[in-house]
Amino acid sequence: MNRKARFIPASSEELLAALDVIRKWGAARSIDPVTGLWRPVIAKANHLLDDLLIQNQKALFEFDDTTFLTALMDWFVERNQKSAVPHLEILVADTRQQADIRAAALSALMQLNPSKRSQWFEYGMNSEIDHLRTVALSVIEEVNDDALLSQLLEWLEPHRQLRLRQSVIIAVGRLKSDKARETVFDWWKAMLAGQFPEPLKLELLEVVQSSSHPDLLALWQSYRGQFGNENEAILPFEVLQGGDLHQGKILFNDRAEIACLRCHIAEGKGGIVGPSLDGLGTRLDPPQILKAVLDPNESIVPGYASERFVMNDEEEYSGVVIEENEQTILIRQGDGSSLSVDKNMLQQRFATLSPMPEGIASALNHRELRDLIAYLTSL
């Protein structure tokens, strides 16, 4: 009888369960799960099972199930089993495979095969698929290899895609080597001298701000000392450049907490409580757009200033003034309906806050805000 055919069970659940048992086999817990007491554990030999997996790996790697394949790859990486390399090479290059599987194969290859790590890193970074690039970068972050640092830095060159250059700053910031730290120091000096690329500044600030190294933290402390608070130290100008307008558009249209589209028209659709934002980029420059989003009350767009009217009979109305003459003021109320206020009955009128919520941008992180500004600027 064909042993291989017998080895492959029908369902991926069964395979996954079997793999799980094999993975945990050698690692019995030294705390008894029933009594909760410590017990001496005798190491169990599991090479028979290991051998079975290794012998059958060709068939197993052809199995079409994402969860199973990912677990299988983890297993080979845990065991540092280089025999999987040829199968992984097939998976990573197979464009019909899901991105998740190709990314897991890339990660496994980079871990199992240090001599070819830099080659696989290039492969991942050159891929069209975001997931492969992210994996390539994250493996590099974990391994802390100065030789790879210089390779990483090549991806900062101006002709590279901006998003990648930004991720490289973050990746270098996570490396623990002295050389990586010196690199960050040099960037910082360049930034203070006005010679660091603007679209990468937010990443550099974040690297230094979140560093656990005292020297870098000291840089951050002395920098932020010039500002009122942490947010101001990052916000006013750093976020302006290097945003991704497609991401910004998604935020603008879909992010429920900020709901820009509820009040504003952009690209022909949206609500009318606020002014249409079409053509915004030709009316305002990026710092003004940022200001309008961060601080709606700083200057209110003409025709959108809302007022509150207190009448002689204590009744109160509020809305935007549409028309005003000697006798009456025509206002548009929050629900969109119009109302005519009789000036003879008016006791007092006050300017009120912008209908646009204050602090709406605090629902976004700095990078998201930068993307949003990129989108608004493009309108």
Closer residue to ligand HEC (CB): 139 or 376: 376
Please report, for residues 41, 42, 250, 251, 329, the alpha-carbon distance to residue 29 in angstroms, rounded to integers and kept in the order given: 7, 10, 47, 47, 79
Give me the phi and psi of 128, to 5 degrees please: -80, -15
Residue 113 CB, nearest distance to ligand HEC (Å)?
A: 46
CB of 308 to ligand HEC, least distance (A): 15
- Pick the closer one to ligand HEC by CB: 238 or 371: 371
| For ligand HEC, the closer CB: 236 or 275 | 275
Rounded least distance, CB 360 to ligand HEC, Å: 5
For ligand HEC, the closer of residues 333 and 347 by Cβ is: 333
Q: How far is the CB of 228 from ligand HEC (least distance, A)?
A: 23
3-class SS letters over the chain: CCHHHHHCCCCHHHHHHHHHHHHHHCCCCCECCCCCCECCCCCCCCHHHHHHHHHCHHHHHCCCCHHHHHHHHHHHHHCCCHHHHHHHHHHHHCCCCCHHHHHHHHHHHHHHCHHHHHHHHHHHHCCCCHHHHHHHHHHHHHHCCHHHHHHHHHCCCCCCCHHHHHHHHHHHHHCCCHHHHHHHHHHHHHHHCCCCCHHHHHHHHHHHHCCCCHHHHHHHHHHHCCCCCHHHHHHHHHCCCCCCHHHHHHHHHHCCCCCHHHHCEECCEECCCCCCCCCHHHHCCHHHHHHHHHCCCCCCCCCCCEEEEEECCCCEEEEEEEEECCCEEEEECCCCCEEEEEHHHEEEEEECCCCCCCCHHHHCCHHHHHHHHHHHHHC
Q: How far is the CB of 249 from ligand HEC (least distance, A)?
A: 11
Nearer to ligand HEC, 117 or 249 (CB): 249
Q: Which is nearer to ligand HEC, 207 or 376 (CB)?
A: 376
CB 140 within 8 A of CB 152: yes
Comparison of 113 and 276: residue with beta carbon closer to ligand HEC: 276
Least distance in angstroms from the C-beta of 286 to ligand HEC: 11
**What are the residues facing 340 on neighbouring strands?**
330
Residues that bind ligand HEC (CB under 6 A): 258-260, 262-264, 273-275, 277, 280, 283-284, 289, 292-293, 296, 300-301, 304, 354-357, 360, 372, 376
> Given the complex with ligand HEC, which of 86 and 334 has the nearer CB atom?
334
CB of 293 to ligand HEC, least distance (A): 5
Pick 217 or 305: Cβ nearer ligand HEC: 305
